[in-house]
Amino acid sequence: MSLAWKLGVTVVLFAISVTAAIVLIVNLLGTPPVVNFTSPSPGAPVNVRLQTVGSFGSGSHPTWVSYLVRSPQGQWVHTTVFQVPEHTRINVTIDQYDSGSPLRNQQLGQVTGTYGSVASLNGRLFRVINSNAGNGVGHTFSIPSLGVNVPLSGVNGNANLCGAAPCTTSSPHNVIRFSFNSPGPGSYRWQCFVPCGLGFLYGNGGPMSTLGYMGGFLKVVA
Amino acid sequence: MAIDTSVSEFEYPGEEDVGTPAKPPPVWRRSAWLQPNVLWAIAGGVIGYLIGHWLGNVIASGYQQVQSSGQNNVAIVLGLSLGVAGWLAGIGALTYPLAKILGYEPSPSPPQQSWVRYFRMTEDHKVVGWQYAIGVLTFLFTGGLLAMLIRTELLSPTTHVFGPGTYIFLVSEHGTVMMMMATSAVVGPLGNWLVPLMIGSRRMAYPRVESFSFWIFMAGYLVILSAFFFGGFPTGWTGYAPLQTQANGGMDSYLVGFGVIGLGMILAGFNLAATIINYRAPGMNWGRVPIFVWGILATTALLTLATPTLVVAGLFGILDRTAETAFYVNEHGGSNFLWQNLFWFFGHPEVYIMALPGFGIVMEIMPVFTRKPLFAYKVAAAGMLGVALLSFFVWQHHLFQSGINPDMRPLFMLTTELISIPTGFLFLVTLGTLWKAKIRFDTPMLFCLGMLFNFLIGGVTGVFLSDVPVNVTVHGSFFVMAHFHYTIMGGLIFAMFAGFYFWFPKITGKTLNRKLSKWHFWTFFVFFNCTFFPLFLVGILGMPRRVFEYASNLQTLNDISSISAYFLGASFFFFIINVVWSIYLNPHPAPDNPWNSLGLEWQTPTPVPWYDFEHIPVVLNDPYHYGEADAPPVADLGKVLSAVGAPAGSVSHEDLGTGVEGDGDPRPPIL
C-alpha cells in the first residue's frame, strides 16, 4: 500500500473519530429553546409569563412536573430558558396549576429579592406563606445568585387539576405576580426548591435535575 | 546435571502428524467473520438489551414508582445486564464453557495470525495486551474529551455552556470513565503483554479468562457510556447515596457498569496472580522476580480482595433502585453510610491499584537508563507489599466530614499517614537508583522523572489531606481534586507512557520517532502542571468541586487551568501522530534490544513469536546487574546470548537450587 493510500485511510479514520466526538458534543449541547423577551424600547419593563403543570402529559417524560414559558407572541413553549435585557424591571406572572404540600424548609415560604420583598397571590399581596396551612406550597421560583425566592401557593389537590401542558385558565390555578430588577449580563440559574420529582426518592430526581423542567437560566444581555 | 531445554518436548499447533489429510472444516469455521467476533458481540449486546428491556417492562410496569417517575429502572437494569450477556455470547466467551457443560470437547485450533485476532477472543496474551491498550486509550480519550468540556464550562463563572444537570453529569461520567480506565491502564496492556515474558512463561495461567476479562471490561465501558441515553447521573464517580437512590436512569448504567468492570478486574487479578505464582521459569525465585512483576503481584492482591466489595455494593444499589430494598435508605432501616464504607473499602485500595504498577514501571526502567543496579530491590518489593496491605486500613479518611464517630478520626489519620512510609520506601529506591548515575535522558526516562516530580507533589499534599484539620478545611474542594489528579494522572499516566515508550519497540517491532516522543513529553509535562497546579490555589480559596458556578475572583486561575487543559489535550496528538507514523505510515524495524536492557523480555526475538520462548529459559540472576563488569548471566535461553546469556545446558539444578527436572513447564502450550 502506498504512502498516499495510508495517509488517506488515516485521514478517513480520523475524520470518523472527530465526527463521532462532534455528534456526542452536539447531543450534550441539546438544551431547551430560548424565549427572547428583549424589549424593543430600552428601559421599558419586560413582562414574563410562566406556568407550572403537575405532569407535562406528552413527550419523553409525560409524568414529569414542569415549568413552561409563554413567548411574546403568546405561545406556550416547553422551556425554562429565557432572555431579558440588563438592568430592567422584570414583571413576572406565574400561573400555578399544581397542588402543594408543607415545605421541608420553612425559610423557602418567604418572599425575597423582589420589589418591596412582596408578591401577590390572586391579587393579594403577601410576604410569607405558611405552608402548613391551606394547600401548602407547590413550587418556588428562585434565583439564588440574585437572592430572589417566591413561593408558589398550591392548588387544592382534590380539584380537577390540569393533567397536560399547556394548561388553560379554565383549570383551577393560582396567579402569582412579582417584579425584580435584572442584573448585568450573564446566565443566572433559577430553579424550584421544592423537591417535586414525584416517584423519585426524596423528590429530587428526574425533573428536579433536568434543564427544561424545574430549573433553567435567566439569560441577561446588554 | 544439565537441564534439557530443547524444544522437542513441545508439540506446537500446526506441527501435528499430517500423514492423513484432514477433512476440511465447514465454511462457518473457516470464515473468521462467521465465527464469534466483535461484530457478533455488538449484535448480541443489542439483542440482549432489547430482550431485557422488554422483560423489565413486563415485570415492573405496574410499580407505582414506575408510573409516577416515568422511569423503569427494572427495564434498564435487565436490559443492560442481558446486553452484557449478549455481548459476551457474541464474542464467544460462553462457547467453551457451554460446550463443556453440554458434554462436547471443543476442538483446539492454532491461534490465528491475521489481524482478525484483534477483534475476537484469543489465547495469546500479547494480543490481549494489544486489545487492552486500544481499550485503555479509548477510555482515556473519552474521559479526556469530557474533561475538555468541563474546563470549557469553567471558563466563566456566569456564562454557561451547559446546564447544572449536564455539567454534573459530565463530571460524573469523566470521573467514572477515567477511574475505571486507570484501574487497567497498566495492568491491562502492559501486565498482560509483559508478565509472562518477564517471568519466562509461554502463557498466562488462564488464557480464556484473560481474554474474558478484557471483553467484559469493554462491555463495562459501553454500559457506562449508555448513561448518555438515560439522562446521566449526578453523583460524581463516587455514587453516594441517597443521591444514588433518587437519580435518573443513568445511575443504573453507573451501577451495572461498575459491577461489570469489577468482575473483569477480579478475574484479571486472579489470573495474573496465578500466573506469577505458578508460571515462573526455573530459577526465577522471588529474589529474581522483576520489580514490575512485584508491582503487578501487589496490585493483584488489591484487585482480588477489594473489588468484590464494589461489586456487592453496586448490587445493593441496584436492588434499592429496582426491588425497592433499603440498603442505603435511612428512613427504611438502611444507611447511606453503608455505601460510603463499602465504596471506599474498594475505592482507596483502588488508588494503589493505579499507583503500584506505575511505580513498578518506573523502578523497572530506571536501572536501564542509569546503567546502575536497582537500589534496594528488596526494600522496593517490601514497600509495594506494605502499601498494598496498609491500603485496606485507610478508607474512612474519606468519611472524616461525613459524620463518622469523631473518635475514629485519629485512628484513620494515623493509618493514612503510616502508608506514606512504604510509599517513601519506593521513592527512596528510585532516588537511590538515580544517585550518582549517568542518566540517559531518553523519552521513557523523562516520563519516569516527570512521574516522580508529579507524584511528589501529589503525595505531599496527600499527607496534609490525611490530617483531620486540613481535611475538614479543604474537603470537597478543588484542592482535593488537584491532589488526586497529581497522583493519578501525574503518577500513573506518566508511568504508563514511560512504559509505552520503553516497551514499544518490543511490542510492535517498530521504532518511534524520537523528536515527536520528546515533544509529547515536554508539552504533556508543562501543560499538566499548568492545568492542575492553579487548582490547588483555587481549592484553598474555597472553590467546591462539582459545581458549575464559582466566585468571579477565581476566574483568572480557572482560565489559566482551562487554557492549559486544551494544550494538555492537544499534546496527546504528538503521541497519536507518532504511533500512527511509526507503525503505519513510515515504519522502521526496531532492533531486538534497543535500550540494552537485561530484562528477560528483551532477550526474545522481535517481533515476539506467539509461543514467546523457543526454549523455556532458566533464570540465573535478577535483571539489574547494570554497570557490573563481571555480572553473571541473567538466564540460560538455550542458546548463546549476545550479552547476558549463558551457553545452552550449561546450568545445573544444583546451580539453581530448584530440584526441578525438565524445563519447569510440564503443560503443553495452550491450544
- Give the pLDDT band of residue B114 (cuts 50, 70, 90): confident
User: Any CB–CB contact under 8 A between A186 and chain B?
Assistant: yes
Q: What is the ipTM of this complex?
A: 0.75
Measured between CA atoms, how close is A124 to chain B, in angstroms?
34
Angle at which helix B336-370 crosses helix B164-184, to 10 degrees, equals 50
Cell of B543: 472553590
Query: Which residues, other chains included, contact B153 with Cβ-Cβ below 8 Å and sequence gap of 6+?
Result: B160, B161, B162, B167, B170, B548
Sequence-distant (6+) residues with CB within 8 A of B383 are B422, B423, B424, B425, B426, B429
- pLDDT band of residue B600 (cuts 50, 70, 90) is very high
Structural domain total, chain A: 2
| Cell, residue B670 | 495452550
User: Do A56 and A14 have their domain in common?
Assistant: no
The helix or strand, by DSSP H or E, that contains position B619, with its residue range, turns out to be strand B618-619
Would the pLDDT of B639 be above 60? no
Measured between CA atoms, how close is A73 to chain B, in angstroms? 26
DSSP-derived secondary structure for chain A: --HHHHHHHHHHHHHHHHHHHHHHHHHHH--PPEEE---SSTT--EEEEEEEES---SSS-TTS-EEEEE-TTS-EES-SEEEEETT-EEEEEEEE-SB-B--SSGGGGB-BSSGGG-EEETTEEESB--TTSTT-EEEEEEEGGGTEEEEEEPBPTTS----SSSP-TTS--EEEEEEEE--SSEEEEEE--S---TTSGGG-SGGGGSTTTSEEEEEEE-
Residue A206 has which C-alpha cell?
Answer: 428526574
CB contact under 8 A, A199 and B584: no
d(C-alpha B172, C-alpha B166), whole Å: 10
In this structure, are residues B613 and B637 in contact, taking their beta carbons and an 8 Å threshold? yes
Q: pLDDT of B73-90, one tens digit each? A: 999 999 999 999 999 999
Residue B544, SS3? strand
Contact state of A21 with B145 under an 8 Å Cβ cutoff: yes
> What is the distance between the alpha carbons of residues B617 and B5, in angstroms, rounded to a whole number?
8
| One domain for residues A64 and A162 | yes
Cis peptide before B242 (omega within 30 of 0): yes
Would you call A189 and B164 a contact, using CB atoms and an 8 Å cutoff?
A: yes
Nearest to B368 by CA among B487, B506, B523: B506
The count of CB pairs under 8 A between chains A and B is 95
Work out the end-to-end distance of chain A between its first and last CA atoms, rounded to an integer number of angstroms. 58
Helix (H/G/I), strand (E/B), else coil: B645: strand
CA distance A56 to A76: 12
pTM: 0.86
pLDDT(B416) > 80 = yes
Rounded Cα gap, residues B199 and B665, in angstroms: 12
Determine the pLDDT at residue B640: 39
Q: Does B417 touch chain A (CB under 8 A)?
A: no
- Same domain assignment for residues A95 and A191: yes
Residues of chain B numbered 233-272 and touching chain A (CB < 8 Å): 234, 242-243, 245-248
Q: Which helix (H) or strand (E) holds B513?
A: none
H/E stretch holding B351: helix B336-370
**Is A187 close to B247, i.e. CB distance below 8 A?**
no
Q: Which domain holds residue A12?
A: 1-30
Mean pLDDT over residues B396-408, rounded?
Answer: 88
* Phi, psi angles (nearest 5°) of residue A82: -140, 155
Residue of A nearest to B550 (CA): A145
| Residue B290: predicted pLDDT | 97
Q: Do A120 and A177 sit in the same domain of this protein?
A: yes
For A121-143, b where at least 16 C-beta lie within 10 A, e where not — what string?
Answer: beeeebeebebeeebbbbbbbbb
User: Any chain B CB within 8 A of the CB of A3?
Assistant: yes
Q: Is B159 on the interface with A (CB under 8 A)?
A: yes
d(C-alpha B265, C-alpha A9), whole Å: 35
Determine, for residues A217 and B64 on separate chains, whether the beta-carbon distance falls below 8 Å.
no
Domain shared by A113 and A16, yes or no:
no
The pLDDT tens digits of the residues spanning B435-479 come to: 999 999 999 999 999 999 999 999 999 999 999 999 999 999 999
Contact B396, B408 (CB under 8 A): yes
Checking if the pLDDT of B330 tops 80, the result is yes
Read off the pLDDT of each residue in B149-155 and give the average, rounded to a whole number: 94
Quick one: average pLDDT of B312-319?
A: 96
Given a cut of 80, whether residue A27 has pLDDT beyond it is no
- A206·B69 Cβ contact <8 A: yes
pLDDT over 70 at B15, yes or no = no
Q: Which of residues 47-106 of B touch A (CB under 8 A)?
A: 64-71
d(CA A100, CA A157): 7
Distance, CA of B609 to CA of B592 (rounded, Å): 12
Chain A nearest CA to B72, separation (Å): 11
Q: Is A201 on the interface with B (CB under 8 A)?
A: yes
A84 and A44 housed in the same domain:
yes
Residues A42 and A61 grouped into a single domain = yes
Query: B145 in contact with A at a CB cutoff of 8 Å?
Result: yes
What are the Cα distances from residue B558, in Å, to B10, B157, B477, B527?
62, 9, 14, 14
Q: What is the mean pLDDT of residues B542-547?
A: 92
Alpha helices, DSSP H, located in B200-335: 207-225, 243-246, 250-278, 291-322
Q: Mean pLDDT over all residues of chain B?
A: 88
CA distance A102 to B307: 43
CA distance linking residue B141 with residue B569, whole number of Å: 9
Is the Cβ–Cβ distance between B196 and B203 less than 8 Å? yes
Residues in chain B within 8 Å Cβ distance of A203? 246
Q: Which of A10, A145, A206 sits opposite B71 (nearest CB)?
A: A206
Residues A88 and A38 sit within 8 Å (Cβ to Cβ): no
**CATH 1.20.210.10-classified regions of chain B:** 122-585
Identity of the residue in A62, A199, A209 whose CB atom sits nearest the CB atom of B65: A199
* Nearest CA distance, B273 vs chain A (angstrom): 37
pLDDT of residue A87: 93
**Residue matched to cell numbers 430526581:** A205
Residue B536: pLDDT above 90?
yes
Same domain, A19 and A54: no
Q: In what order do the strands lie in the sheet with A215-221?
A: A34-36, A81-85, A215-221, A186-191, A137-143, A148-153
Higher pLDDT, A26 or B35: B35
Q: How confident is the model at residue A25 (pLDDT cuts 50, 70, 90)?
A: low
pLDDT at A20: 80
Q: Do A187 and B586 touch (CB under 8 A)?
A: no
Q: Which residues of A touch B67 (CB under 8 A)?
A: 63, 199
Distance CA B220, CA B204 (A): 23
Q: Quick one: how far is CA B348 from the chain centroid?
A: 15
Question: Residue B397: pLDDT above 80?
Answer: yes
* SS3 label, residue B393: helix
Does A113 share its domain with A209?
A: yes
Quote the CA–CA distance of A179 and A166 in Å, as a whole number.
23
Could you tell me the three cell numbers for B185?
A: 491502564
Model confidence band, residue B25 (pLDDT cutoffs 50, 70, 90): low
Closest Cα in chain A to B142: A21
Chain A interface test: which of B68, B148, B167, B222 (most A C-beta within 10 Å): B68
Q: Do A28 and B162 touch (CB under 8 A)?
A: yes
Chain B residues inside the 8 Å CB shell of A61: 70
- pLDDT for position B566: 96
Cβ separation of A63 and B242 shorter than 8 Å?
no
Q: Which of B9-23, B511-525, B553-567, B650-664 has the lowest mean pLDDT?
A: B650-664
Please tell me the distance from the alpha carbon of residue A217 to that of residue A83, in angstroms, as a whole number. Answer: 8
pLDDT in tens, B337-356: 999 999 999 999 998 999 99
Choose among B69, B160, B228: nearest Cβ to A217.
Answer: B160
Joined grid coordinates for residue B262: 469489577
State whether residue A54 sits within 8 Å of chain B by CB.
no
Distance (Å) from the alpha carbon of B230 to chain A's nearest alpha carbon: 11
pLDDT band at A163 (very low <50, low <70, confident <90, very high): confident
**Which residue is closest to A217 within chain B, CA to CA?**
B163
The answer to whether B556 contacts chain A (CB < 8 Å) is no
The answer to whether A29 contacts B159, with C-beta atoms less than 8 Å apart, is no
For A204, which of B149, B246, B549 is closest by C-beta distance?
A: B246
Q: What is the CATH number of the domain that holds A137?
A: 2.60.40.420
What pLDDT does B666 receive?
A: 39
Q: Which residues in chain A are contacts of B555 at CB distance < 8 A?
A: none
Can you tell me the mean pLDDT for A115-125? 95
Longest dimension (CA), chain B: 83
* B147 touching A (Cβ < 8 Å): no
Searching chain B, which residue's CA lies closest to the CA of residue A211?
B163
Statement: residue B391 has pLDDT above 90: yes
CB contact under 8 A, B166 and A211: yes
Mean pLDDT (whole number) for B360-368: 97
What residues of A are in contact with residue B71 (Cβ under 8 Å)? 199, 206
Q: What confidence tier does B24 reach under pLDDT thresholds 50, 70, 90?
A: low
* Nearest of B222, B360, B367 to residue B296 by alpha carbon: B360
Q: Are A83 and A3 contained in the same domain? A: no
The nearest alpha carbon in chain A to B153 belongs to A29
Whether chain B has a CB inside 8 Å of the CB on A82: the answer is no
Average of per-residue pLDDT across A157-186: 92
Q: Which residues in chain B are contacts of A64 at CB distance < 8 A?
A: 70
Q: Of residues B109 and B195, which shows the higher confidence score?
A: B195
d(CA A142, CA B6): 81
B248 contact residues in A (CB cutoff 8 A)? 205-206, 209-210
| DSSP-derived secondary structure for B482-509 | HHHHHHIIIIIIHHHHHHHHHHHHHHHS
Interface mutation vs chain A, best among B73, B158, B162, B324, most A CBs within 10 Å: B158
Cα nearest neighbour of B249 on chain A? A206
A129 in the same domain as A57: yes
Shared domain for A162 and A216, answered yes or no, is: yes
Decide: A69 and A48 in contact? Cβ < 8 Å. Answer: yes
Please, what is the Cα angle at A38 between A36 and A40, to 5 degrees?
A: 130
Class of the domain covering B122-585? mainly alpha
Chain A hits for B65, CB-CB cut-off 8 Å, are 199
